């Protein structure tokens, strides 16, 4: 079995959307090469300061550079030992699920199991026609493509026919998942209840962006996910696997933090020239201030959303220079996360699961038995023999949200 770190309770980490934005304080706009190198440095430093997860977005248009997350994450995996490599969105709508199955299983192997991914539909409408898809079919694409991806990782030989791609006959996705256990999947959503339903149906994780909207908005989505997770028989609502985003900028002096961050906020491509920094901080989890203010704000997330498994912070957006980002990571890893680990572990019920890792999922699948390792068959077109412990019945067609219905 591959080695992979296990945590007690929660994982903490960072994510990046890979934007290339001019620094409003000095006018410098990094090149793609500079920004890519900076991101790799940032990921390595995240491990050095004790964080658990680095997640990278996927985009196919300027000003974003990350069109191939698995390539970047594999390079980072080779230079780290403990860090879980994830995505901040893998586009389930416009990527071929066969290629997703292959690419992320390969990343799972080369990283020694330090891989999971977050599926989403993205935030760039034109990406659909760029890849030959219709944005009006966004939800049906997400549902059908994930059903196929789910099967490709759990069935050695797949016969499949759907609406949006050519049929598969006797197809085996290679490499097979490491240790016979598929990468863990988070379903990310900003506003769509159907995605919360999809995550619940499969017993996967649900990641709430938790950046652009008030807490009440995400409470509704997470509550729906928890209720439906229990409905489909995966456990109690409290046992559902939840991840949250976050956004902070810190300084020993809260006034200095606001002064330094304000020009970046005011000119940010996403929210610049809109609500004031103060209003946005009041309405959303954005916290600009001292480390203690960040601790107080994020220790309170459990009161809003219940016990959860993963907290990721956006740290490098809006043109912030690498030097500043690394300083922020030093504060996050040195002063904030150690306290949050303790605070969010206090009175955590024993039935709330730890953050999913490859190691604890393999242990759950096999117990004391040796993990299944795929072995090529010399004279078989389907390539593999043997059963997977994670083989299950694929979702039937029909029912609300396009998902099959399992009665609890």
If you write DSSP's letter for every residue of 295-319 in order, what string do you get? HHHHHTHHHHH-S-SEEEEE-S-TT
Of the candidates 170, 175, 232, 176, the residue with the CA atom closest to the CA atom of residue 199: 232
- What is the distance, to the nearest Å, from the Cα of residue 357 to the centroid of all Cα atoms in its chain? 13
pLDDT given at position 397: 35
Cβ neighbourhood burial of 121 (10 Å; 0-12, 13-18, 19+): buried
Kindly report the CATH number that applies to the domain delimited by 11-402: 3.20.20.30
CA distance 267 to 396: 47
Of the candidates 364, 282, 67, 310, the residue with the CA atom closest to the CA atom of residue 188: 310
Quick check: pTM over 0.85? yes
pLDDT given at position 377: 56
Hey, where are the domains in the chain? 11-402
Cβ neighbourhood burial of 247 (10 Å; 0-12, 13-18, 19+): buried
Neighbours of 376 (CB within 10 A): 11
The residues facing 120 across adjacent strands are 91
pLDDT given at position 272: 76
**Contacts of residue 320, Cβ cutoff 8 Å, sequence gap at least 6:** 23, 264, 328
How does pLDDT run across 247-265, given as a tens digit for each residue?
999 999 999 999 999 999 9
Q: Write the CA distances from 181 to 1, 256, 344, 392, integer angstroms.
A: 11, 47, 29, 12
DSSP per position, 171-203: E--SSPPGGG-PPEEEEEESS-HHHHHHHHHHT
pLDDT given at position 289: 97
How crowded is the C-beta side of 230, counted as CA atoms within 13 Å?
9
Backbone φ and ψ of 188, nearest 5°: -100, 140
Across 268-300, b (16+ Cβ under 10 Å) vs e yields: bbebeeeeebeebbeebbbbbbbbebbbebbbe
The bridge status of strand 158-160 relative to strand 168-171 is antiparallel
| Kind and range of the H or E run holding 38 | helix 32-48
Neighbours of 169 (CB within 10 A): 10
Q: Are 208 and 240 in contact (CB under 8 A)?
A: no
Backbone φ and ψ of 322, nearest 5°: -55, -45
**Contacts of residue 185, Cβ cutoff 8 Å, sequence gap at least 6:** 116, 117, 118, 119, 146, 150, 202, 204, 205
CA distance 288 to 302: 20
The residues facing 302 across adjacent strands are none
Q: Are 211 and 284 in contact (CB under 8 A)?
A: yes
pLDDT given at position 139: 85
Q: Which segments in the chain show pLDDT lower than 50?
A: 1-7, 378-408
């Amino acid at each position: 079995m591959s080695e992979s770190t296990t945590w007690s309770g929660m994982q903490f980490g960072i994510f990046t959307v890979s934007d290339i934005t001019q620094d409003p304080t000095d006018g410098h706009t990094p090149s793609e090469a500079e920004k890519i190198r900076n991101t790799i440095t940032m990921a390595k430093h995240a491990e050095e300061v004790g964080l658990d997860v680095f997640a990278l977005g996927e985009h196919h248009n300027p000003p974003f550079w990350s069109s191939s997350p698995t390539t970047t994450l594999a390079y980072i995996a080779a230079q780290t030992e403990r860090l879980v490599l994830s995505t901040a969105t893998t586009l389930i709508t416009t990527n071929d699920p066969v290629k997703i199955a292959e690419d992320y299983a390969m990343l799972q192997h080369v990283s020694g199991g330090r891989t999971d991914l977050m599926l989403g539909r993205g935030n760039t409408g034109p990406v659909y026609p760029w890849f030959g898809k219709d944005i009006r079919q966004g939800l049906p694409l997400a549902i059908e493509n994930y059903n196929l991806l789910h099967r490709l990782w759990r069935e050695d030989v797949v016969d499949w026919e759907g609406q949006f791609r050519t049929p598969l006959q006797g197809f085996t996705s290679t490499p097979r998942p490491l240790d016979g256990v598929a990468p863990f999947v988070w379903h990310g959503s900003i506003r769509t209840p159907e995605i919360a339903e999809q995550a619940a149906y499969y017993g996967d994780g649900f990641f709430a962006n938790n950046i652009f909207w008030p807490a009440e908005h995400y409470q509704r989505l997470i509550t729906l996910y928890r209720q439906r997770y229990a409905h489909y028989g995966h456990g109690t609502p409290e046992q559902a696997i939840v991840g949250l985003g976050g956004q902070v900028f810190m300084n020993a002096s809260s006034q200095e933090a606001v002064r330094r961050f304000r020009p970046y906020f005011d000119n940010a491509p996403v929210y610049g020239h809109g609500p004031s920094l103060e209003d946005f901080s009041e309405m959303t989890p954005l916290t600009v201030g001292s480390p203690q203010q960040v601790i107080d704000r994020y220790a309170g997330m459990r009161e809003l959303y219940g016990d959860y498994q993963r907290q990721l912070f956006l740290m490098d957006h809006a043109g912030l220079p690498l030097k500043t980002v690394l300083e922020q990571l030093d504060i996050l890893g040195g002063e904030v996360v150690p306290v949050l680990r303790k605070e969010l572990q206090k009175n955590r019920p024993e039935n709330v699961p730890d953050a999913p890792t490859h190691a604890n999922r393999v242990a759950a699948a096999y117990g004391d038995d040796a993990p299944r390792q795929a072995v090529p068959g010399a004279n078989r077109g389907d390539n593999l023999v043997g059963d997977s412990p994670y083989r299950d019945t694929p979702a039937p067609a029909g029912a609300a949200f396009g998902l099959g219905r399992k009665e609890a």
